Chains A and B, each alone.
Chain A
Amino acid sequence: MSLLIPMDLEVFFNDRWWVVALKALFAFVVLLLLTLFTIWYERRVVAFMQQRQGPNMNGPFGLLQSLADGMKLMFKEDFTPTAADKIIFTLAPFVVAIPAITAFAVIPMAGIVRVPFTDIYTPLQVSDLPVSVLFIVAVASVGVYGIVLAGWSSGSTYSLLGALRSSAQVISYEVAMGLALVAVFLYAGSLSTSEIVAKQAEPATVFGVPLWFGVQLLPSFIIYLISMVGETNRAPFDLPEAEGELVGGFHTEYSSMRFAMFFMAEYMNMITVSALATTLFLGGWHAPVPFNLLPGADSGYWGFLWFVVKVLVLLFIFVWLRGTLPRLRYDQFMRFGWRWLIPISLAWTLMIAIVRLGQREGWFSGRPFWLGAAVVFAVLVGLAFFGGGKEEPAKEAGKPGGEGMGEFDAFAGGYPVPPMGDQVLPEFAQVLSGEEDLAPDRSADDQRTKEGSEA
């Protein structure tokens, strides 16, 4: 198997200019409509999750709500603070919004379609590059400049802090996101979005049915899902905005249409990362499993339907997360990103690379491999049954900050401090006299204290 499939992107570069223009217009309109729809969709879904109705007054089912909100924003006063750097303050919303739109250019929305009223056939994708996914990742990062510039040029501390948090967050989670994508590149043998979609439509070697990378590379998919939420500054990772805690993050000083740009860009980013997830992990515009048995279920413009359905499912996950999880603290969020997400995705990527190389070199076909695997398996099973038990107390005592901490001093260093490691509050250690039946579970704590002091 060759690692790099020769790419055939000729079809994208032979389009006539007006066909490309039409497709660009189509992508733009789709993105805008999807943005308006997503705002309504999110508000409705999150409302139902909270046993409310959500916006239901403007238009059928309240569908025109975001349009009404947009009109309202347009007629509001466009306010520029005195301390703001006028030029950059005006420029920043565009720097955020334009990359959000641009990234959609290389997303395949359907297969080969006929341009209406002509005999021209073309893929429903504005363009494709040999490095499309890299292009998306790169363009998405440009949006961070907009955030930083918006925060800095506002001339407000709140904005600046919000911008710093926002950009730190986006940059941190981009690493995990990029690593999650590497596994897909290794399996698809290409960075071009249309090639990756085509690869997922091929029957897989194991089951003989097309397998999405989301199934084949489930850990990558999960890491991508988590990091795409962090990347778009959405709940539970919406720390830069944190309505109810902060003033509003980097767009505190923005109003009117310039605020609307940020708002739209946020939703466009959501749609773009969802579309990327659809393309890379969920088989792109191809029909999902029961429907792909129908001939022509995803031919022509039908592919667009499946694409939109998959994007909406991913957007539902965004909303579901928002409706369910409380916001993380900033240090928890950063620790999760750097200490868990990135190492796990690094290890997973390394493993994928080894497996790919092994498959190519035929490591897994020989007897030594299976013997080794059997031995490892037997040892693991043995450990599961007989190992462990005795080591736990030692592990407990060896916990960071466990042993050497000594007795709990509530005013260590002259300040009131909480107990650390296996230190126990004096009430529970029975250093202070108290009601005997105050804490029924105290016996367990006492046990631990004794063990701790013995160790």
Chain B
Amino acid sequence: MGFFDPVAGFGVTFRTMFRKTFTIDYPNGPRVTAPRFHGRHQLNRWPDGLEKCVGCELCAWACPADAIYVEGAQNTEEERYSPGERYGRVYQINYLRCILCGLCIEACPTRALTMTNEFELADDTREKLIYEKSDLLAPLLPGMEQPPHERRLGDDEQDYFLGLPSTGEPDDRAGDISEAQPRPINQGWRYRRKQAAGDR
């Protein structure tokens, strides 16, 4: 017990003033999350642009918050959205209900539904927070084409599912996608404002 111990705390607070703060400057600048952060969902595509979702509704059944609504429909030879028999005709996720737990991702048998790291999901109406299939579908990469269209990677769905490359390698059966840039996410309000100005 030194003489200055009772007042040592004053030194601690004074020193701390000149330390770097822990505060993250998020809304002013981008925020990088942990790599497996549970953010907004995404409906993935096959390399030729066909949808992976088969409309099985397992995600909707797995959802503890009842946030997912799916209606499946039959593919036809004239109008084909996914390689197999069925596809998800309606796919909605209500982000007012979603708790981003990831059970839907675990339930998905085709890896159609995954999660991105994007957490900027705030909006000002209830309607805007129900994300439709068009909002959730992954963007078209090089080599992809907006469905409906023919199967490009094989004669039936077996060729799609069994022809997957080994883990960790990109699925570039329809073309080189190494140049594709990810869409910027979690950029903060300055970026959003700039985007909004660009849209107008």
- Residue ranges of A at the interface with B (Cβ–Cβ < 8 Å): 45, 47-53, 320, 323-325
User: A325 with B9: in contact, given A51-B16, A320-B14 (CB under 8 Å)?
Assistant: yes
Contact B9 A52, beta carbon cutoff 8 Å = no
Contact A320 B23, beta carbon cutoff 8 Å = no
Q: Which residues of A contact B23 (CB under 8 A)?
A: 52-53
Provide the bound-state CA to CA distance between A47 and B13, in Å. 10
Give 7 nearest A-B pairs by CB, closest first: A53-B23, A49-B13, A48-B17, A324-B13, A323-B13, A324-B9, A324-B10
Provide the bound-state CA to CA distance between A323 and B20, in Å. 17
Cβ-based interface call for B22 (8 A) = yes
Cβ-based interface call for B19 (8 A) = yes
Contact B10 A49, beta carbon cutoff 8 Å = no
Nearest Cβ on chain B to A226's Cβ, whole angstroms: 13
Contact B16 A49, beta carbon cutoff 8 Å = yes
Provide the bound-state CA to CA distance between A51 and B19, in Å. 7
Contact A52 B17, beta carbon cutoff 8 Å = no
Contact A324 B17, beta carbon cutoff 8 Å = no
Provide the bound-state CA to CA distance between A323 and B16, in Å. 11
Contact A51 B10, beta carbon cutoff 8 Å = no
Provide the bound-state CA to CA distance between A51 and B9, in Å. 15
Interface size class of B (residues with CB under 8 A): 10 to 19
Provide the bound-state CA to CA distance between A50 and B19, in Å. 10
Cβ-based interface call for B34 (8 A) = no
Cβ-based interface call for B12 (8 A) = yes
Provide the bound-state CA to CA distance between A325 and B6, in Å. 10
Cβ-based interface call for B21 (8 A) = yes
Provide the bound-state CA to CA distance between A53 and B16, in Å. 12
Provide the bound-state CA to CA distance between A320 and B22, in Å. 20
Contact B10 A320, beta carbon cutoff 8 Å = yes
Q: List 26 A-B contacts (CB under 8 A).
A: A45-B17, A47-B21, A48-B16, A48-B17, A48-B21, A49-B13, A49-B14, A49-B16, A49-B17, A50-B16, A51-B16, A51-B19, A51-B20, A51-B21, A52-B21, A52-B22, A52-B23, A53-B21, A53-B23, A320-B10, A320-B13, A320-B14, A324-B9, A324-B10, A324-B12, A324-B13
Q: Which residues of B contact A320 (CB under 8 A)?
A: 10, 13-14
Indicate with 1 or 0, residue by residue over B119-160, a CB within 8 angstroms of chain A CB atoms: 000000000000000000000000000000000000000000
Provide the bound-state CA to CA distance between A51 and B13, in Å. 9
Query: Which residue of chain A is the closest to B18 with respect to CB atoms?
Result: A48
Provide the bound-state CA to CA distance between A127 and B9, in Å. 41
Query: Which residue of chain A is the closest to B19 with respect to CB atoms?
Result: A51
Query: Which residue of chain A is the closest to B11 with respect to CB atoms?
Result: A324
Between B9, B13, B19, B20, the greatest number of chain A beta carbons within 10 A of the residue's beta carbon is seen for B13
Provide the bound-state CA to CA distance between A455 and B123, in Å. 77
Q: Which residues of B contact A51 (CB under 8 A)?
A: 16, 19-22
Indicate with 1 or 0, residue by residue over B20-51, a CB within 8 angstroms of chain A CB atoms: 11110000000000000000000000000000
Query: Which residue of chain B is the closest to A47 with respect to CB atoms?
Result: B21
Q: Which residues of B contact A45 (CB under 8 A)?
A: 17
Q: Given contacts A51-B20, A52-B21, A324-B10, could you give 14 more A-B pairs where the C-beta distance is less than 8 Å? A: A48-B16, A48-B17, A49-B13, A49-B14, A49-B17, A51-B21, A52-B22, A52-B23, A53-B21, A53-B23, A320-B10, A320-B14, A324-B9, A324-B13
Q: Which residues of A contact B9 (CB under 8 A)?
A: 324-325
Provide the bound-state CA to CA distance between A324 and B9, in Å. 6
Provide the bound-state CA to CA distance between A292 and B12, in Å. 33
Nearest Cβ on chain A to B173's Cβ, whole angstroms: 49
Query: Which residue of chain A is the closest to B8 with respect to CB atoms?
Result: A324
Query: Which residue of chain A is the closest to B17 with respect to CB atoms?
Result: A48
Provide the bound-state CA to CA distance between A56 and B20, in Å. 15
Between B10, B14, B17, the greatest number of chain A beta carbons within 10 A of the residue's beta carbon is seen for B17
Provide the bound-state CA to CA distance between A45 and B14, in Å. 10
Query: Which residue of chain B is the closest to A322 with respect to CB atoms?
Result: B13
Q: Which residues of A contact B13 (CB under 8 A)?
A: 49, 320, 323-324
Nearest Cβ on chain A to B11's Cβ, whole angstroms: 9
Q: Which residues of B contact A53 (CB under 8 A)?
A: 21, 23
Q: Which residues of B contact A47 (CB under 8 A)?
A: 21
Q: Which residues of A contact B19 (CB under 8 A)?
A: 51
Q: Which residues of A contact B16 (CB under 8 A)?
A: 48-51
Query: Which residue of chain A is the closest to B15 with respect to CB atoms?
Result: A49
Q: Which residues of A contact B20 (CB under 8 A)?
A: 51
Provide the bound-state CA to CA distance between A90 and B87, in Å. 68
Provide the bound-state CA to CA distance between A90 and B62, in Å. 57
Q: Which residues of B contact A323 (CB under 8 A)?
A: 13
Provide the bound-state CA to CA distance between A47 and B22, in Å. 11
Provide the bound-state CA to CA distance between A47 and B17, in Å. 8
Nearest Cβ on chain A to B106's Cβ, whole angstroms: 37
Provide the bound-state CA to CA distance between A51 and B18, in Å. 9
Provide the bound-state CA to CA distance between A323 and B14, in Å. 9
Provide the bound-state CA to CA distance between A324 and B8, in Å. 9
